[in-house]
């Protein structure tokens, strides 16, 4: 599981039938520096499926790969690579130097 910050949404005119009711978010992956209040060194951005209602600027916890499909298993088959598992109130990281 990784932590990311929502920076936008993906708009589509078609959606896979089993994914109705959710949306896709553009998420900047947060590294330990950005979570500690420093400058973000990671440049990774991913698209994450969300049905929890996360908004712009919120921190989320997301899973990737096979684990991203597990909330729908075995009832539905879904083509997901990343899934929003939680909306976080805060994440505290202290860097020791």
Q: Quote the domain boundaries for residue 55.
A: 2-88
Identify the burial level of 72 via C-beta atoms within 10 angstroms of its C-beta, where 0-12 means exposed, 13-18 middle and 19 or more buried: middle
Q: What is the per-residue pLDDT for 97?
A: 62
- 37 located within any domain: yes
Q: What is the per-residue pLDDT for 74?
A: 64
Q: What is the four-CA torsion angle of 47, 69, 50, 63, rounded to 10 degrees?
A: -60
pLDDT at 18 over 80: no
- 94 located within any domain: no
CATH number of the domain enclosing 6: 2.40.50.220
- 97 located within any domain: no
Domain count, the chain: 1
Identify the burial level of 28 via C-beta atoms within 10 angstroms of its C-beta, where 0-12 means exposed, 13-18 middle and 19 or more buried: middle
pLDDT at 8 over 70: yes
- 76 located within any domain: yes
31-81: per-residue pLDDT in tens?
A: 888 888 888 888 899 999 998 999 999 999 998 877 676 666 666 667 788
Cβ contact 81:64 at 8 Å: yes
């Amino acid at each position: 599981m990784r932590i990311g910050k929502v920076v936008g949404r993906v708009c589509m005119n078609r959606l896979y039938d089993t994914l109705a009711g959710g949306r896709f978010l553009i998420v900047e992956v947060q590294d330990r520096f950005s979570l500690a209040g420093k400058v973000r060194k990671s440049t990774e951005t991913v698209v994450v499926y969300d049905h929890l209602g996360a908004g712009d600027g919120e921190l989320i916890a997301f899973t990737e790969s096979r684990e991203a499909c597990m909330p729908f298993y075995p009832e539905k088959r879904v083509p997901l690579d990343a899934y929003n598992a939680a909306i976080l109130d805060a994440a505290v990281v202290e860097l020791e130097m």
